[in-house]
Amino acid sequence: MNGSTFRWTSRTGVALLLGLLVTRGASAREVAPDSRSEGGRIRELEARVRALESRAATAPATPPVTAGRNNGLFFLRSSDGAFTLFPTARMQIDAYAYSPAFEAPGQPRASVFLRRVRPELLGSLFHERVDFMLAGDFAAPANGQATTDAFVIFNVHDWLHVQVGQFDLPFTMENRTSDRVIDFMERSFTVRNLGTSTKEPGLMLWGGPRSRLFYYSVGLFNGDGINVRNLDNSFDVVGRIFVRPFAAGAAALSRVQVGASGSFGSHRDTNQPIGAAPGWLSLESGYPLFRNTYTGADGNGTAIAVVPQGDVARVAAEVNVPIGPVAFRAEGIWLKGDVAETFFASGLPLRGVGSLRALGGYAQLAFWPIGTSRVLSDPGVGSMPRFVAGAQTPPDGFNLQLVARAEYDRVDYQSGAPLGANQQGPSQVAGAYTYWSAGFSANLWWTRHVRLTLNYVANHIEGATANLPSPGQNFIHEFGARVGLSL
């Protein structure tokens, strides 16, 4: 009994001893690795972070975007953003018809023609410190030259930009709005005829805060028209200002804009007829109601021109109220000038200095039943295109714009007294001209690049010396259509 008990106790003790040793060894192994793994894991994570940092430092950067479509424009851009080019173009194919139809030889007929075909290159250099534009029109060269816009802008500060070359004059809101996006096929009768010439060579300073809370522009221009050198050593001073009084307020009123323009110059002995060939006070399709040149009464077909001969001053006011899908716009111009009549071939004076007075304006209401006016740029701003990182491309949808416009203009021309013996008879264009019109326009925009336009304008003219299509025809109804492409 005692022997068997001893043997069991010995075996049991040995087993218990071995179990205790194994358990302590296992516990030691469990504790030691745990204490070592904390530091090991930290070191391992630190090593991984260093490896990731090393890889990030040596990994090639994402290549910059150097070509494509941005902010609705096609562009080419250097990898460092030092220069950006915007190759653009515009093409406008127009059609016109009249009621009643013109009948006399040389008068316009229903027609389809190329109104504008302009390749253009815009861009910025030296990280947008300098902007430029080069453009020409191969459908209707002005004064024998295709150049339309050719200028350089030095961006000194938001409040000071220096622009030199040939460009849109800063007179009226509509004149500073590109013909890509004007509401009718052409600018209003008032702006085309009572305003300055559309483009001229000159120098301009402009600027203001980026919010457009205030904007100014003032410059010196030749005063003799597009693609024409200075003819008399005199320059026109032209300027425009506008404010957006609610730019910092509610978004619905942030684009409300009021402004004014002024122009003053003095021109003598230029023999440059007022307006443009073939006449002045032209309709949308180009038909002139005032003959700036005419044939005298001597029986020899002597051509006589009405030319500036002294001071010419203009003042204009503007207002633009876009609220949601509706926009109201109006502009008015007052004109006072000294003019004379000369023999067109020689420039010799026929009559002394007479007076030209004019006052007119237009008002219009636009509505967007489909889409949004945001597809177009704001009128009268004339800012240069910019590459905007992350800019959203405008949706490729349709936008429908409906516009109604009314105009009224009064022009009085009193010719000067004849100089010496006069075999030409009295002036054939002196007198009072009263013009009014009502027009409607429908523009279907497929983005800002494709435009389909239908126009109707009822023109009415009163004046004993007005250039009417036929005697007593005071109404001229114009029907117009345009297919426009702007890249």
Both structure tokens of 84: 């950006």
Domain enclosing residue 325, as ranges? 67-486
Angle at 343 between CA 337 and CA 347, to 5 degrees: 75
306 in a structural domain:
yes
The answer to whether the CB of 132 falls within 8 A of the CB of 149 is: no
The answer to whether the CB of 432 falls within 8 A of the CB of 411 is: yes
Average pLDDT, the chain: 89
60 vs 457, residue with greater confidence: 457
161 in a structural domain:
yes
Strands 354-370 and 326-343: antiparallel
The answer to whether the CB of 279 falls within 8 A of the CB of 288 is: yes
Confidence of residue 59 (pLDDT cuts 50, 70, 90): low
Q: CA–CA separation, 70 vs 86, rounded Å?
A: 10
Residues 314-338 have a mean pLDDT of 97
Predicted confidence at residue 390, as pLDDT, reads: 76
Question: Which range among 16-30, 248-262, 406-420 shows the weakest confidence by mean pLDDT?
Answer: 16-30
- 7: pLDDT strictly greater than 80: no
Q: Look at residues 189, 192, 142, 199 and name the one whose alpha carbon lies nearest to residue 168.
A: 199
**What's the whole-model pTM score?**
0.85
Amino acid at 142: A
Sign of the Cα pseudo-torsion (369, 371, 374, 379, in order): negative
134 in a structural domain:
yes
33 vs 470, residue with greater confidence: 470
- 459: pLDDT strictly greater than 50: yes
The answer to whether the CB of 286 falls within 8 A of the CB of 279 is: no
Phi-psi category of residue 439: left, alpha or beta, with phi > 0 → left and psi -120 to 50 → alpha: beta
Residues 97-124 have a mean pLDDT of 93
Q: CA–CA separation, 307 vs 479, rounded Å?
A: 32
Predicted confidence at residue 249, as pLDDT, reads: 83
Q: CA–CA separation, 94 vs 186, rounded Å?
A: 11
The answer to whether the CB of 410 falls within 8 A of the CB of 361 is: no
- 31: pLDDT strictly greater than 70: no
- 385: pLDDT strictly greater than 50: yes
- 44: pLDDT strictly greater than 70: yes
13 in a structural domain:
no
Confidence of residue 62 (pLDDT cuts 50, 70, 90): low
What confidence tens digit (pLDDT) does each residue in 226-281 have?
Answer: 999 999 999 999 999 999 999 988 888 999 999 999 999 999 988 899 988 789 99
Q: CA–CA separation, 453 vs 98, rounded Å?
A: 17
What confidence tens digit (pLDDT) does each residue in 154-179 have?
Answer: 999 999 999 999 999 999 999 999 99
CB atoms within 10 A of CB 103: 10
Confidence of residue 104 (pLDDT cuts 50, 70, 90): confident
26 vs 462, residue with greater confidence: 462
- 97: pLDDT strictly greater than 80: yes
Predicted confidence at residue 441, as pLDDT, reads: 98
280 in a structural domain:
yes
Q: Which residue has the tokens 């204490």?
A: 35
Confidence of residue 38 (pLDDT cuts 50, 70, 90): confident
How much of the chain exceeds pLDDT 90, in percent?
A: 69
Both structure tokens of 129: 């410190």
Residues 318-328 have a mean pLDDT of 96
48 in a structural domain:
no
Predicted confidence at residue 6, as pLDDT, reads: 40
Predicted confidence at residue 60, as pLDDT, reads: 62
Query: What's the structural domain count of the chain?
Result: 1
Predicted confidence at residue 72, as pLDDT, reads: 79
Residues 64-82 have a mean pLDDT of 87
Predicted confidence at residue 182, as pLDDT, reads: 95
Confidence of residue 394 (pLDDT cuts 50, 70, 90): low
Predicted confidence at residue 277, as pLDDT, reads: 79
Print the SS3 string covering 16-52: HHHHHHHHHHHHHHHHHHHHHHHHHHHHHHHHHHHHH
386 in a structural domain:
yes
375 vs 357, residue with greater confidence: 357
18 in a structural domain:
no
The answer to whether the CB of 310 falls within 8 A of the CB of 356 is: no
Residues 79-87 have a mean pLDDT of 93
- 17: pLDDT strictly greater than 70: no
Domain of 408: which CATH number? Answer: 2.40.160.10
Both structure tokens of 127: 């990280």
Confidence of residue 96 (pLDDT cuts 50, 70, 90): very high
